[in-house]
Structures are given as C-alpha cells and as structure tokens.
Structure 1
Amino acid sequence: MSTGEEGRDPRRWRALSVALVAGFMALMDVSIVNVALPSIEQGLHADTSDLQWIVSGYALTFGLVLVPAGRLGDARGRRTMFVVGVAVFTASSVTAGLAPVPAVLVAARLLQGVGAGVLNPQVSGLVQELFRGAERGKAFGLLGATIGVSTAIGPLLGGGIIKVLGADTGWRWIFFVNVPVGILCIMLAFRYVAARSGAERRDEDLDLVGVALLGIAVFTVLLPLVEERNWPGAGKWLLLLVSAASFALFVWWELHQTRRGHAPLVDLRLFRIESYTSGVIIGLLYFSGFTAIFFIITLYLQLGLGYSALLAGLTVTPFAIGSAAAAALGGSVVTRLGRPLVAVGLVLVLVGIGLTDLVVSVRGDDPGWWIAPPLLIAGIGSGLVISPNVTLTVSEVPVAQAGTASGVLQTGQRIGTSAGIALIGSVFFGAVATSHGDFAHALSVGLRFTLVLVAVALVAALVDVVTARRRREPASLPGPR
C-alpha cells in the first residue's frame, strides 16, 4: 500500500470515520438506555438498584478495561483490538436485547462495557498514529464532537425507537440496533484500518494485579451508593475504607511494577505532564456530573410527569444541539485559546444547570419549553469542555503511549460517569422517597449535587490556567504560525 503526502496513510480519514462510528455507538449506549428505564422497570419488574446498575455498571466495566486495552492496542495493533472490542460489544448487545430478567440484562450491560472499553482507546490512538499537525487538531475535534453528541443524542434516539416499536419491545431494540452497525464496522475496519504489529509483550505485562486492585477500589465505592436504599444500616459505608486501601495498594503496586522494569497498568510518569494531569482530573469531575443529568432528567420527565420516551428525548435535544455546535467550534479554536476555553465552557454548564433548576423549581409540574433554553446553554458549555479537554490532555503525550494515555483519560471519564450516576441517582431516588413522590423536588436536589461537581471541575481548570501563566508558559497548544 502506498502512502500519501509525508508518508501519511491515504485512507486515514476513512479509517477515522469507521472508528468514530463505532466510538459513537459505544458512547451513545451510556445514555440511550435512560429513556428506556421505565419500560425496562415494567417489562422486567426491575427495582431502582437494577436500574442504576444497568446504567452505571456499563460505565464501570467500560472504564476498567480502557487502560489495559489501550496498552494492548499500542503493543499488538490497534485494528486487532478495535475489531475484538466491536465484536464483544455487538454480541453482548444481542444478549441485552433478549434478556428475560434484570440480572441477565445487568450482566449483558457489564459485558457491553467491556467491549466498549476495548474499542474506544483504539480510536484516539488511531488519531495520534494517523494524523499530524493541524490535521490532528481537526481529527481530535471530530472525536470530541463524537463524545459530546453521542451521549447527548442517546435519549432522543432511544425515545424514537420506543415510540415506533412500543414500550414492551422498543427497549430491546435500543440494543438490537447496535448489531448491524457493529458488523459493518468490523468489515470496514479490515478494509480501511491498516494492520500494524506492535512490540511483543508477555502475558504478565498485562498487570492483572493492577486491574484487580483498581476494580476493587472503584466497585467498593459504587456498591454502597447504588445499594444505599436496599442495604440498611451504616455498615455499608465501611466499604469506602476498603476502596481507599485498595487504591493506595494500586498506586504502590504500579510504582513497584515500574521499579522492577515491568509494564504497569498505569504509567504514573504520565502524570508528570501537567497538561495531562489537569485534563484527567477535569474529565473525571465533569463526567461525574455531566452524564448524570440525563439520567435524572429523563426519570423526572417520564416517571414524574408521565412524558413518553420520545417526548422525554425531545426535551433534552437542545443540549445535544448545543453540544454538537460548540464541540465543532471548540475543536477549531482550542489550539489558540487552550485551557481558558474549557473554563468558559464549565461556566456555561453551571449557568445552564442553575437555570434548569430554577425552571423546575418554578414550573415543576409542567416545565414545557421553558427547560429548552437552559439546556441549550449547558449543551454549548459541554461542547466547549469535552472536545478541547481531550485535545489539550493528550497534546504532549508521546505517540508510543497514545493508547495507554487515552485509556487512562477515558477511565477517569467512565469512572466519573459511574460514580456520578451512583451518587446522584441515590440522592434522586432518596429525595423521591422522602418527599413522597415529588419528582420535581428530587430533580432539583440532584441538579444541585451536579452543580457542585461541575464547580469543582471549574476550580481545577482555573488552577491549571493560573499555574501555567505563573510558569510563563502558554496555557494553550502551540498552533501553526
């Protein structure tokens, strides 16, 4: 195969298109189930704990396999790992669609998360591998837009499917639609994504101990949050101590692996890159609030106000529109504006969520179109956060570590998603119970918790801007002159 100008793969944009379609599909599954939760609750007799695990369990396994999958992509070829991830995701989508009981659906969602976690770091790894200079910024802008739009548009697409096919079977088809897309992505990957062999690594270099320790640390945080209402007594909170101990052991083990000359699950030396460290922290905090918004708003609209799945999806569409438009803009100007652009985006998100809370407080029994403008503002802000933050975070990472670095970044995002849904979901359901079914009050409480998380992310962004200026270094990527 011949290459294009400066040795670049002439198929790079087609390869990127295939990768982005698969990434869109996997990321959309974070939120597409939200509008289907009432149908799943009725169809499978699921309880609130099941509903939270269906959403947060997917994000959990998604996040836990990102880092080892990124390293495997770096070492053994991104096309191979991409195809494996898409295949696992597609097969588990079939299982989810056929699930006869909640336990099977939860298990299928956990496996879906594994597939998503395997394929996603290959996408950003391919961007690092195939593109240079201004093209890389454009490619990362498209990736950022994909991340933002996929999560935001999920409720609308899910609502449309349920509207057309009915509540009884429509929720199953939100999983079945992944099957033809997944098969097509596998076929096109073999055609457009070049096979590249990486350096051979031994099985022990996969650092299964690190995977286990990180998994225990995250799981023992989520379990008491998700099961808060079903698990009486204060004993469950002792699991937070187990989580802290597991995370401390994880850090020690990773340092130990590095000293022994073995490949750690997370190369902690990546965090010497200040732009990378800041981006990971911002991503973790922001995603802990960002994706929980759709979870609680769609439950409020459907369970509290009796909206159909489609109408609930349409209600949050302004967020998707704003996010898509702003992500494209953010990707094109981030090289000039840098991290201050992320801070501006976070401010807009805070304003949008705050106004949404105000609308719900005033018109909780029928928000109508009043909720659209604040969601649009929040969506614009989100687009200016996600796309630029991805670009800035990996901008100084060596290409050889692109997959691993992307895996760590997305792990932070997915763990934030999982923990945020568990925390804010528990707060929401608890408020529903204590207020005797006042869903508007419960949504306001949940939105205020979200405001706190986004505000902390803003503080992290501002600290990064200030420290960069004090070092007399630009807080932006070097752009073309």
Structure 2
Amino acid sequence: MSVALVAGFMTLLDVSIVNVALPAIRSDLHLTAGELQWVLSGYALTFGLLLVPAGRIGDARGRGPMFVTGVALFTLASAGAGLARSATWLVVARLIQGAAAGLVNPQVSGLIQQLFEPRERGRPFGLLGATIGVSTAVGPLLGGVLIAAFGPSDGWRWIFYINVPIGILAIILALRWIPKAETKERDSLDPFGVVLLGVGVLVLLLPLVQEREWHGPAKWLLIPLSLAILAGFVLWERRHGRHSTPVIELGLFQVRSYALGALIGMLYFAGFPALFFVYTLYLQNGHRFSALAAGLAVTPFAVGAAVASALGGRVVARFGRPLVMAGLITVAAGLAATVLVLAAAPGDNGPWLAAAPLLIAGLGSGLVISPNQTLTLSEVPVRRAGSAGAVLQIGQRIGTAVGIAAAGTVFFAQLASSGNDWGRALRSSLLVAIGFVLVALAAAVTDVIASRRDANHQREPEPAGQA
C-alpha cells in the first residue's frame, strides 16, 4: 500500500503542481498560449484516455506488472520533461507522463480490492482518498517551494526531476512487495471496444481542454459526436459481453451504489479542482503573489483534506452515504464563506483571511473523496476492481475538464467585462464550483433516500395469511 499510494500521489500531484510554474515555463521556453494550454491539459487528456484500458489489462494480466510499467514510463517522461529545451519537447513529455499516470492509477484501487476483505477496505480507501485530495491541493505549494528554492529558470524543471528518485525507489519496492501470484485471464481484451471508448473520450475531452484556444462555437459539435461514439461503444459492449469479457461490465451501472457514486465523484471533481485553477490565477496575476505565496494560500484546504480523509475512511462503514452528504454540505459552506471573505476584504489580506473557510472546505473534501470511493466500489467483484476503479477515475478526469472549462470561461468573461476586476472574476467562478458541489449533493441525497426506502421495505411485515 505504501508503494502504491506514493506512486499514485506522484502521478496525481502532476495534475496541479504545474499551475504555479506556468509563468516560469512560458518565460524560459517562450511558449505560446496554446502550447502552454497543452502543457497543462495534455497531461489530463492522455491520463483519462488510458485509465479504462489499463484497468482492464491489469485485471486480466496482473496488476503488479502494469503498475511497474506505468511507474517506469512516468519516471522516464518526468526526466524528459525536466530536460525539455523546446515547447514541442515539453508537450510530448507531458503527454507521455499523462499516459503513464493512466497506467498506474487503476492498479492502485484494484490492489486495494484484491488485498483487503470488504470490511477492511475503509482504511486503505481512506488513505487513497487522502492521497487524491492532498496531492491535488498540495501541488501549488510544493511547486512554489521548488521554484523559490531553485529560482524560476531551474525551479520548474525540478517540479519534474523530483519524480525521478521517487519513481526509481517505487519500482524497486514494487518488484519486491507487490504480490505476483494473481489469477490471470487469457480471454480477449476486446481491442475494438478499447478503441471505441478511447476515441469517444478523446472527442469528448478535446473541446474542453482546448476551450480557450479553439474559438467559435463549432468545437462544441464534438460533444454530440462523442456521445454518439460512446453510445456505439455501449451497444458493442452489450453484444461482446454475451460471449466474452467486456472492457466495462455495464451491469455495474445497475447497482445504485456504483452508478450514483460514480456520478457524485464526477460532479465533485468538476467543482473542487476548478478552485485551484482559478484561485492560482487570481493570486499570481491579480495580486502578484509569488509561486510560494500562492501555494501557501491554498495549503489550508490540503491540511483539512488530509485530516478528514483519514477519519472518513475509518468511519464510512458506520455512517455510509450520509457521511458523503455531510462532506458535500461542508465543502459548499466553506467555498461560500470564501466568496464572502474575499468580497469583504478585496485587498492583499483577503487570501490570508480566506484560510479559515478554505480549511473548512478541505475538511469537507476529506469526507467526500475517500468515503465515496469506498462506497462506490463496495459491491464490485475483485476480478473487475481495476476496470471499475478506472471508470470511476475517468469520470473524475472528465469532471475536472468540465469544471475547469466552465469555471475558466466564467472567470475570463468576467475579467474582460469588468475591466480586470480579478476579485469579481474569482467570486463568479467559485459560484460555478459551488454549483457543481450542490448537484453532487443532490445525487448523494437521492442515494440516501433510496437506501432508506429499501431498508423500510425489508423491515415491513408480510401480510397475514401469507408464508
């Protein structure tokens, strides 16, 4: 678990750590706005594309070998990114990094399902939830520390170099500690289904990650095209699943805990990562904060998430989905309080005064991510743990892309219409993030009500005279 979580932390950290380094990267390599967008979004794009195929292969051929392969590729790509001498070099390295992260992450959740009995999974999933939440939130701080320590020109390179020794150590320990004796299937891996799913996800994510670079409304035509391709994938999987193992067991979505849990995860990840995207822009460009100061300003969220994730994993079996509800309410309240504080204190002191509500939001986040992951995968068979976890994560990646596109659009539109009023732009985009959290809360409430109704039906006595 230590090896798996460290590798997972490393790959998820690279989603957000680059945010504070973008000004330094742009200055050093003379990147255009479009190239800079690909450095940031290309990682998320290839990450999302590889999740489900990698989860399926890990289920069928062994999670240990897939894990080691992914970490090795990620380590090499990180070294390549740190050595980049041109925009194209850096973009290609980031795309390979993202693909490698997509190989690693499904194996982590799959290993938890494989190595722990259902009643024991709360704690390891709590640690995984803490890893997911903290890695995203602490990225700006760690990036700021490295840039402050090594200077802008070399600091952004160390953001990538730091992965190399960690990756090498993870490979050595994984070969030693991750169990090798696994039941391996030798049936078809359904390559046509993998291609259909990959193309559908690619076409769905492209207009979202390129929202600011592709001008005009034509790009949004790719959304219905992606839905048509994904509908074709569903039809193919139903047909293929009659006589062989599909990429995704569609029957999982008939299980309410899995279907609603995946929806909650997607909606929540549309909300909270968008916070760091727009907040970092607000701090560095609006208030001229250094990379380190910007990272420190969002650290309270990371601290709250770390503390609450460990607790949430331990108590989720006792409280169930109501715990996730409580977390979502806390996140929405914390973000709303952040908006109010920043409106009341628009100067440079505002971000520091917002530390308390961000801490509250982080505490709520810790009660959402790990408990939701535990509950969502609780009824999934171990033999499908990797692919089921991958579907959950691909929903999170899609949610992140949607949330950043939506919050970013509102942010820059408000900035343009208000004459560079950074505070107003931030507050408007945070309301978008809160909206996604509230829709996730509605899904959680639906699950709780349905579960209680089912429990009441089971307790109702049978009519007299019937056996």
Deviations 1:252-291 (A, max 9, x none): 22222213x2322211111122111111111111111111
CA contact 2:343–2:423 (8 Å) conserved in 1: yes
CA distance in 2 between partners of 1:414 and 1:225 (Å): 11
CA distance in 2, matches of 1:105, 1:178: 15
CA shift in 2, pair 1:262/1:224, >3 Å? same
Q: Mean alpha-carbon deviation: is it higher for 370-379 or for 35-44?
A: 35-44
Q: Distance in 1 between matches of 2:157 and 2:410?
A: 28
Cα distance change on mapping 1:219 and 1:419 into 2, 3 Å: farther
Task: Give the counterpart letter for 1:411 in structure 2.
Answer: I
Query: Aligned to 1:256, which of 211, 236, 239?
Result: 239
Q: CA deviation at 1:372?
A: 0.2
The answer on 1:152 being equivalent to 2:134 is no
Partner of 1:463: 446
From 399, 405, 416, give the equivalent of 1:416. Answer: 399
- Name the CA distance, whole Å, in 1 between partners of 2:272 and 2:337: 15
What residue is the counterpart of 1:453 in the other structure? 436
> 1:478 — aligned with what?
none
Deviation at 1:33, TM superposition (A): 1.0
2:438 aligned with 1:438, yes or no?
Answer: no
Are 1:348 and 2:330 an aligned pair? Answer: yes
Indicate the SS of the match to 2:367.
helix
Matched, 1:210 2:216: no
Residue 278 of structure 2: which of 296, 305, 316 is its match? Answer: 296
2: distance between equivalents of 1:143 and 1:321? 15
> Aligned with 2:49: secondary structure?
helix
Q: Structure 2-normalised TM-score?
A: 0.93
Which residue does the alignment assign to 1:267?
A: 249
Distance 2:368 2:216 in 1: 39
> Taking structure 1 as reference, are residues 51 and 364 closer, same or farther at Cα in structure 2, changes over 3 Å only?
farther
Equivalent residue runs for 1:12-161 within 5 Å: 16-132=1-117, 134-161=119-146
- Tell me the number of residue pairs that the alignment of Structure 1 and Structure 2 aligns: 456
RMSD: 1.9
Gaps spanning 5+ residues in structure 1: where? 1-15, 475-481
1:210: Cα distance to partner? 2.8
Structure 1 distance, partners of 2:318, 2:334, is 25
Q: What is the distance in 1 between the residues matched to 2:62 and 2:337?
A: 47
Asked if the contact 1:221–1:419 (Cα under 8 Å) also holds between the matched residues in 2, the reply is no
**TM-superposed deviation, 1:429:** 3.0
Are positions 1:190 and 2:175 aligned together?
Answer: yes
Question: Aligned equivalents of 2:354 and 2:35: distance in 1?
Answer: 29
Aligned partners of 2:110 and 2:456: how far apart in 1?
27
CA distance, structure 2, for counterparts of residue 458 and residue 161 of structure 1: 37
Conserved? CA contact 1:226–1:423, under 8 Å: no
The corresponding residue for 1:165 is 150
1:61-107 deviation line (CA, Å, top 9, x unaligned) = 21221112112112211110110010111111112112223333222
Q: Which aligned runs of 4 or more in structure 1 are off by greater than 4 angstroms?
A: none
Amino acid in the other structure paired with 1:375: L
What letter is aligned with 1:451?
I
Choose the corresponding residue for 1:245, options 209, 220, 228. 228
Which residue number in structure 2 is paired with residue 318 of structure 1?
300
Deviation at 1:197, TM superposition (A): 4.1
CA distance in 1, matches of 2:411, 2:351: 21
Instruction: Tell me which moved more, 410-419 or 222-231.
Output: 222-231
Q: TM (normalized to structure 1)?
A: 0.90
By how many angstroms is 1:473 displaced? 6.9
Contact 1:289 1:451 in 2 (8 A): yes
5+ residue gaps, structure 2: 458-467
Distance 1:135 1:97, change over 3 A: same
More off after superposition, 82-91 vs 41-50: 41-50
